[in-house]
Every structure is written in structure tokens, then in C-alpha cells.
Structure 1
């Protein structure tokens, strides 16, 4: 009887020790993430937390605004931008760790309306001008906004729509303009209207890739990262099969 009791105490001790070790070794990652990647990032972060024991604090916004905040000392550990330019700029200024930058997703631009049948599958609605407002993200801050501008310029419509443009601070705000009816349609990321590989509703035009420069979404570890091991592990997890499956399910392609 005493032997069984001692064995039980040893087992309890081992379990408690294991819990303490995990608690001590668990880290935290403070991630700045491009707004278009909100839904997939929430899923990926949850998977990473479950498998690693680390926690992830997520902040979402425009790539340009995050870059400015990081330059001013914002306490982020990793940066998942919607472009290559901003992470590379931080790298050149010594604010990001050289050799850690990589493309984690290739974005796709969509012209979307919450109204079924409003946007045709060739984007002809843009040329007809039969709308009052069209939203896009600020091209100085958001790569998807720049892609929208490039698309309109390629179609010869940039000057024509000037009086109808509504500018969002980020792609998330741009989506809200169309979702709430403050604009009849908006240029958004395909990921924002996609779930489990299917577009969730409304009407849309998948903009041909030849109308804008590639949206190469890049991640990088920041020099000021407090827990460098956790930050490194998090970026490595973005390349895992589980993370890639999530990324693809939201309409992104991989490089």
C-alpha cells in the first residue's frame, strides 16, 4: 500500500515539475500583422500557442503605419507586412534581423461589393461609372491600396474615379466601408471575403495579376525582440504544413 502511495506521489511530482518547466520556458511573441492577414493569423497563432506553449499577442493594421511605429520604438518582436518594401527598409536601418525575412504569402486583389450582382466578373462596372463611392486603402500605407491604384491606372480609370474614391487607413477599414454600405464596392484582399476556400458572399471581380505589381507579403524578426527564441519559433511555424494549409484556405498562394 505504501509503495503504491509513494508511486502516486512521484507521478504527481513529475506532472507538477513538467507544468513548472513549461511555464518557465513558455515565451511571448508580440506580432505586428498586416490587416489583410487578420483571420488566417488568428488561426495560425492559436495553433502555434497550442503546440509550443508560447503566447502570441496580435496587433493588426497597415504595413506603412506599423513601419513608422517600429521606427519610433514600438515593442514588436515580429512584423508580418503586406509587402517586401517595409520589412526590407527596417532591415536596412538595423531594426530587423538580416537573414530572417521571407515571403509567407502572395496576396490577391479583389473588387468586392456586399450587394449580390453589383460587381461583374470582368470589372466592367468600373468603366460604366454607375456608382457613387468606391473604397480603397491608402496607397501610401497599404500595399493593397497601391495595387488598387495600379489597377485603376492600368485600366485608364484613375482620373475618372477621383471624385468617387473613399480612402481607408487600412485594408480592414476599406472592407468595412463596403460591408456597411458607405461605399457600393471596394478593392479588398481576397482573404477578407474567403473562408475555407470559398468566397462568403456579395459580388466580386478577381483582379487579373497583370494589372498590379505582385503582393509579396513578407515577415521578419525585429532586432528589439525581447524573446528572440519565441520570435524565431513563431516565424518558423509560418512555414509549417499546418500554417500553410490555413494560408491557402484564405485564397493566398505561396511563393
Structure 2
């Protein structure tokens, strides 16, 4: 009997393993923490493995265009995935908005940032971190906010640019910049600010940060890629996305 069970296990294990696959995902830096949480839940629920690479949307676009082996792209805007779509680089019909982001002015210091952003007009800081507005949608949104407030020229000498919103966050977290424009998801957990002080930037001060996802053309036959997109439409992923301060995309 033991020998029969052993033979059955040898037959069943390869079949079970064949059902699991890997999906390589290019992820905008603002979505790092949610992706890590989603990856764990996704593996638990589907058996598939999510392997993520993080960076600015512009940097990831360049890597994709140069042949980087990604299956799915989670961007920080809707323009870049639309551009890839127009260039024939994505699976037709796969593009959708998975989240809408929010921008925050944040400091690791508990009392530096007030609830109206008035600190930007003060001399209480020497350095203001933002992501590169040419490659990072959150950095571009930060420049729009400064323009809307009439502060772009005044703040220009104090700006410190990170290549991604992740690097901008690190400048502030490390104390190299007293405050910075970051993604709300980087400092927000389960309905509250994790640390420091922050001003949630009113959405009307910048263009909507609609974050789109696509399945890339080379992954058309990868079952894990489609499984991930389906998972992002599901309730468990939606709960994770909300917990980091995002609004849900239109199709969630």
C-alpha cells in the first residue's frame, strides 16, 4: 500500500507543479509595499509566484523597450501603458486602471508638516525631495502642485530629485531632506499615517494619478500573467490596495 501511495504522489506532484508558474512584473516604485503584500496573497491563493522589479515608470518603460523580460507592467500613470499599447507591445484589451494614487507632502519629523501645506512657504526646511518629473508620474504631479501654489521658483533652489518616488522617500526618511512629495501609500498604513507628519495634497492641485496595468506581448501565453490581472480585479487584492491609501481603479 505504501508503495502504491508513493507512486501516486510521484504522478500527482508533477501535475500540481505544472499548474504553478512565475509572473515577472515591472512595478512603479510607489506600489512597492502593496505589491509585496499582494505577492504573498497571490502565491497563497493561486500557487503562482510574483517576481517584482521596482523603479520609476519611465525607467521601466525604457527597460521594456530594450527587451527586459517582464510579463506584466504596473505603471504609475495611464499614459505610459497607453503608449506601449499604441506601439504594439501589450496584449490587446489587457490595459486597465488598477489604482488611483494620492500625493502627500511628508516629513519624518512629527511636527514639521501642517495639515494645509503652509510649511512650503516657510524657512523651516532646506531641502524638498521630489521624484524626477521626467520619468516618475508622482514627481510630475509634485511640479504641478508647486505651480498651482505659485511656489515653483521659490522652491526650485531647495529641490532634491530622486530617480524614482522610492528614492525621494528615502531622502526624507534618512533625514537628507527635511520633507518631500511622496506617494501616500509610502507613509500610510491601514487608515492612518505610519510616522512623521504629512499633508494629503488635494487632488485638484494635480492631474489624477491613474495607474494602469498591462500584460506585455511576450506573456500572452503565460497563465500566471493572466492570473495576476484577474487577481488584481478581486476582493482580496482590492482590500490590500485600499489599505495603502489608494482609490480603486474603474474596473475593480
| TM-score under structure 2 length normalisation | 0.95
1:170 matched residue in structure 2: 164
Q: Which residue of the partner structure matches residue 186 of structure 1?
A: 180
Instruction: Give the aligned partner of residue 116 of structure 2.
Output: 122
* Offset at residue 52 of structure 1 (A): 1.6
Equivalence map 1:17-36=2 (5 Å): 17-36=11-30
The C-alpha deviation readout for 1:177-230, integer Å capped at 9, x for no partner, is 000111000100110011223211101000000000000011000002275221
Is residue 72–residue 215 contact of structure 2 (8 Å, CA) maintained in 1? yes
CA–CA distance in structure 2, aligned partners of residues 98 and 63 of structure 1: 20
Gaps of 5+ in 1: none
Farther-moved stretch of structure 1 (100-109 vs 128-137): 128-137
Please name the residue that 2:61 is paired with: 67
- 138, 146, 149: which one aligns with 1:155: 149
- Give CA-to-partner distance per residue, 1:98-123, whole Å, 9 cap, x none: 21000000100000000011000000
Q: Is the 8 A contact 1:76 1:222 kept in 2?
A: yes
In structure 2, the CA distance between the partners of 1:107 and 1:66, relative to structure 1 (3 Å rule), is: same
Deviates more, 1:229-238 or 1:133-142: 229-238
Paired residues of 2:190 and 2:244 also in contact (CA < 8 A): yes
Which of the residues 209, 213, 216 maps onto 1:219? 213
Q: Which has the larger radius of gyration?
A: 1
Which segments of 5 or more consecutive residues in structure 2 lack a partner in the other structure? none
1:27–1:227 CA contact under 8 A, matched in 2? no
Partner of 1:102: 96
How far apart are 1:72 and its partner, in Å? 0.8
Q: Is 2:107 aligned against 1:113?
A: yes
Secondary structure in structure 1 of the residue aligned to 2:84: helix
Q: Distance in 2 between matches of 1:45 and 1:177?
A: 26
Aligned position for 1:207: 201
TM-score, structure 1 as length reference: 0.94
Return the alpha-carbon distance in structure 1 between the equivalents of residues 156 and 123 of structure 2: 11
1:83 aligns with 77
Aligned with 1:33: secondary structure? strand
CA distance in 2, matches of 1:169, 1:149: 15
**RMSD (CA atoms):** 1.3
